[in-house]
């Protein structure tokens, strides 16, 4: 039988439609089990959990348990959250966090042991404002780290032992934090050693942002080599990946995974989110002093994301995951910093009160277009 041109067009269109419908149907079927099952052969899929989940938000919980098999704590394991002003400890939220992960057999991440931020100044300074001695700071770190890591031994799988020790200034590659000013780079070694002693089985990570490429990537590679040479028990690199629609490009990302893995480290993407709002960090110099000011033109999507931006965002997620899948043997997990857009820190950073769309679930807790693209990968 020869097909008339009309029959041919119709059957081609029908076949295309059928292919589309079945890709969508497959993606929707996969959604019943979630991202964690879809990528089970590649890496874990994680989410940072905040106060809402710890307070029992059922809606967010249902997304968490369906989609993710790893959790990271947004705040409850940071120094300032664990110590009370009168020198005591508070464990309620931290215990709840670890219980959630244990009960649901998740890969539980501890964040963070040594970080310059969200650690009270009193850790580093005497009442008169002078720095405590090196021995005092080491003792404080020893008490803090051995208590926290010891408490969750066997329940927390991996700890960010040190966070953001590298600076953004390429001429001074190590951040001039209080930790560094008092102990030099050795504060990192100390954090890793104490954590390792408290739980020899726990996986220890160095975590930072902006280390995908450029001078910060080089500085990070050099730091890791120095740590390894000094016998520091480091197992993984945490690439935070607070990124945007353009940067870093996928070639840079690809190379950084290969580079870090070549040092014998497992690669963790620890805080992934994609900022879609106008970038205020790169405004002309004259504007630098006002870069954190709210202006309506810096918050263009308060009524929703236009279709073309939603499409670009979906393409960006897809291209990232193509690189992750290519290097699945080197990657331990892909963790997003939050679950849904309404809870993202990027609504308030670096400008307060904007409407951002950085995660895979929107403000109504529905999947973004990107979610379906990821589910269609490997189908």
Residue ranges binding ligand GLA (CB under 6 A):
111, 163, 209, 240, 271, 345
| Annotated catalytic residue, options 164, 212, 310, 332 | 164
Residue 177 — left, alpha, or beta (φ > 0 → left; ψ -120 to 50 → alpha)?
beta
What DSSP letter does each residue of 234-280 carry, written as one string?
Answer: --EEEE--EEESSSS-HHHHHHHHHHHHHTTPEEEEEEEEEE-S--S
Q: To which H or E segment does residue 135 belong?
A: helix 134-151
Question: For residues 350 and 348, what is the distance between their CA atoms, to the nearest angstrom?
Answer: 6
Q: Which of 27, 28, 3 is nearest to 15 (CA)?
A: 3
271 catalytic? Reply is yes
Residue 249, beta-bridge partner list: none
| CB nearer ligand GLA, residue 118 or residue 290 | 118
Helix (H/G/I), strand (E/B), else coil: 205: strand
- Distance (Å, whole) CA 188 – CA 57: 36
Nearer to ligand GLA, 214 or 304 (CB): 214
Q: How far, in Å, CA of 63 to CA of 336, rounded?
A: 13
Closest distance between ligand GLA and the C-beta of residue 134, in Å?
25
Distance CA 307, CA 357 (A): 13
- Looking at the Cβ atoms of 68 and 310, the one nearer to ligand GLA is 68
**C-alpha pair distances (Å), 345 with each of 42, 89, 161, 325, 354:** 28, 26, 22, 27, 10
In Å, how far from its chain's centre is CA 270?
Answer: 3
Neighbours of 377 (CB within 10 A): 16
Residue closer to ligand GLA by CB (options 240, 335) is 240
Least Å distance between CB 72 and ligand GLA? Answer: 8
Contact 298, 266 (CB under 8 A): no
Shortest Å, Cβ 240 to ligand GLA? 5
Tell me the residue nearest to ligand GLA as measured from the CB.
Answer: 345
- Min. distance of Cβ 351 from ligand GLA in angstroms? 14
Least distance between ligand GLA and beta carbon 343 (Å): 11
Q: Give the nearest distance from C-beta 6 to ligand GLA in angstroms.
A: 58
In the chain, what is the greatest distance between 2 CA atoms, to the nearest angstrom?
95
Whichever of 30 and 205 has its CB closer to ligand GLA, that residue is 205
Catalytic residue among 74, 271, 310, 332: 271
Give the separation between CA 339 and CA 272, rounded to whole angstroms. Answer: 11
164 is a catalytic site residue: yes
Q: Using the minimum distance from each CB to ligand GLA, give the nearer residue, 42 or 271.
A: 271
Q: How far is the CB of 113 from ligand GLA (least distance, A)?
A: 12
Q: Looking at beta carbons only, is 80 or 222 nearer to ligand GLA?
A: 80
Q: Indicate the pairing of strand 331-336 with strand 236-239.
A: unpaired
3-state DSSP assignment of residue 83? strand
Under DSSP, is residue 159 helix (H, G, I), strand (E, B) or coil? Answer: strand
The residues carrying an active-site annotation are: 164, 271
């Amino acid at each position: 039988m020869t097909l008339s041109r009309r029959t041919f067009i119709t059957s081609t269109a029908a076949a295309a439609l059928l292919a589309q419908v079945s890709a969508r149907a497959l993606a929707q079927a996969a959604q019943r089990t979630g991202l964690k099952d879809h990528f089970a052969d590649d890496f874990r899929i994680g989410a940072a959990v905040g106060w809402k989940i710890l307070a029992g938000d059922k809606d967010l919980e249902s997304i968490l348990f369906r989609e993710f098999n790893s959790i990271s704590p947004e705040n409850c394991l940071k120094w300032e959250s664990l110590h009370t002003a009168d020198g005591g400890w508070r464990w309620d939220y931290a215990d709840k966090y670890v219980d959630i992960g244990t009960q649901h057999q998740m890969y539980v991440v501890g964040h963070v042991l040594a970080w310059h931020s969200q650690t009270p100044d009193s850790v580093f300074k005497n009442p008169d404002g002078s720095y405590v001695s090196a021995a005092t700071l080491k003792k404080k770190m020893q008490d803090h780290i051995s208590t926290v890591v010891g408490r969750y031994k066997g329940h927390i799988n991996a700890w960010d032992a040190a966070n953001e020790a590298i600076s953004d200034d390429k001429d001074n590659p190590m951040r001039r934090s209080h930790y560094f000013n008092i102990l030099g780079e050795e504060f990192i070694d100390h954090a890793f050693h104490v954590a390792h002693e408290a739980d020899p089985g726990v996986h220890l990570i160095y975590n930072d942002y902006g280390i995908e490429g450029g001078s910060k990537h080089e500085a990070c590679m050099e730091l890791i080599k120095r740590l390894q040479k000094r016998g520091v028990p480091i197992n993984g690199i945490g690439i935070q990946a607070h990124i945007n629609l353009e940067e870093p490009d996928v070639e840079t990302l690809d190379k950084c995974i290969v580079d870090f893995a070549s040092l014998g480290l497992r690669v963790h993407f620890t805080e992934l989110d994609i900022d879609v709002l106008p970038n205020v960090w790169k405004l002309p110099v004259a504007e630098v002093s006002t870069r954190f000011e709210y202006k309506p033109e810096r918050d263009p999507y308060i009524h929703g994301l236009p279709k073309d931006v939603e499409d670009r965002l979906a393409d960006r997620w897809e291209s990232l995951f193509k690189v992750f899948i290519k290097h699945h043997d080197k990657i331990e997990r892909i963790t997003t910093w939050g679950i849904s857009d309404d809870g993202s820190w990027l609504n308030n950073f670096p400008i307060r009160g904007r409407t951002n769309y950085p995660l895979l679930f929107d403000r109504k807790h529905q999947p973004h277009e990107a979610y379906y693209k990821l589910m269609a990968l490997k189908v």
